[in-house]
Amino acid sequence: MIPKSQESSQLDAQGNLKHFLTIEGLSRELLVEILDKAEGFVGVARQAVKKVPLCRGKVIANLFFETSTRTRTTFELAAKRLSADVLNLNISTSATAKGETLLDTLRNLEAMHVDMFVVRHASSGTAHFMARHANPHVSIVNAGDGRHSHPTQAMLDMFTIRRHKGDFSSLSVAIVGDIMHSRVARSQMLALKTLGVPDVRIIAPRTLMPARIEEAFGVRVYHDLTEGIRDADVVIMLRIQRERMNSALLPSEHEYFHLYGLTEARLTAARPDVTVMHPGPINRGIEMDSQVADGERSVILEQVSNGIAVRMAVMSMCIGTQNLRAQSIGESHA
């Protein structure tokens, strides 16, 4: 559990975004601001020169202690499109792998005048720890920490939903899969409720459903896939980690797909214009079949593209707060 005091540390004294660590504690207005800013960045990819100068002169370091291709690459592209200098730290050959502490790593990289760290780590709370110990001018963006939070994934999902469905206030959204271990699901539930979605449903085997989650997040719990997605506007399938298939938490891959795999036949229970999403990477034949994944109602590849715009929005907002702080300091010394 991350202390509540850590949630408020994402904002500066004026309420601007300083770090982006979790959806929890952020207002609806701030989430909408992120979505609106991302909308303005979508067109950058269609420009002859795919860059804007908002982070020119800034250094952004990708610090990934967990492997990731999609998330790390989209963060790198987002930073470069903002005209930042990007440092990708290879953790497997870094001093951290040789025993250097996380705090020492932070201090050494700060000495290289890094302005922002994008951090992915297997331990919950790592991004909060770095934000608490970072120099005042440094921003931290959480790219996934343990089972706690993946806020930019949730926001790119919200951005995708808004582009297809418009208003959040009348939607039914179903999240299907390993709810217990998913930082993505936790962030999605928080974002959906904050943005005013009245009907958020979570669907999972009993072994993968956290206790008392209805009270904690204000969601509805289902253990039957067809009932859970009935008349849903959006269905979000979560990745099942294959390593859990051999544990007591899950049946075999075949049995899981039989009960919880999304097929065209099952999808008929949802609304005809249902939007199908997945944070990736997909395990085809486990979470969904290829007909659904590649079908006309799937927006999975669009989610990847939208991730660049949303991460540009988040990083530019944090860098903008840095610039405001620097301006304030300069004026006080004038």
Angle at 182 between CA 258 and CA 254, to 5 degrees: 15
Structure tokens at 264: 């065209």
- Give the annotated binding-site residues: 70-71, 98, 120, 150, 153, 183, 239, 280-281
Question: 75-84, 214-223, 227-236, 316-325: which range is least confident on average?
Answer: 316-325
Structure tokens at 236: 């979000």
Q: Is a pLDDT exceeding 70 seen at residue 125? A: yes
Say what the pLDDT of residue 102 is: 87
Cα separation, 188 vs 182, whole angstroms: 10
The residue ranges of every structural domain in the chain are 4-150+304-333, 151-300
Chain position carrying tokens 């938490």: 249
CATH tag for 151-300 (out of 3.30.2010.10, 3.40.50.1370, 3.30.559.10, 3.40.50.970): 3.40.50.1370
Residues in Cβ contact with 170 at an 8 Å cutoff, skipping those fewer than 6 apart: 198
Say what the pLDDT of residue 250 is: 76
What DSSP character marks residue 55? Answer: T
Buried b (16+ CB within 10 A) or exposed e, 249-269: ebeeeeebbeebbbeeebbeb
Angle at 228 between CA 220 and CA 189, to 5 degrees: 45
Q: Do domains 4-150+304-333 and 151-300 have the same CATH topology?
A: yes
Say what the pLDDT of residue 315 is: 97
- Could you tell me what percent of the chain has a pLDDT over 90? 77
Cα separation, 238 vs 262, whole angstroms: 11
CATH of domain 4-150+304-333: 3.40.50.1370
- Binned at pLDDT 50, 70 and 90, residue 240 comes out as confident
Say what the pLDDT of residue 159 is: 98
pTM to 2 decimal places: 0.91
- Give the annotated binding-site residues for carbamoyl phosphate: 70-71, 120, 150, 153, 280-281
133-176 pLDDT, tens digit per residue, is 999 999 999 999 988 999 999 999 999 999 999 999 999 999 99
Q: Are 56 and 81 in contact (CB under 8 A)?
A: no
204 versus 3: which is more confidently predicted? 204
Q: Are 98 and 105 in contact (CB under 8 A)?
A: no
Q: What residue type is assigned to position 91 of the chain?
A: I
Cα separation, 152 vs 315, whole angstroms: 10
Q: Is a pLDDT exceeding 50 seen at residue 1? A: no
Q: Distance between alpha carbon 15 and the CA centroid of its chain, in Å?
A: 21
- Give the annotated binding-site residues for L-aspartate: 98, 183, 239
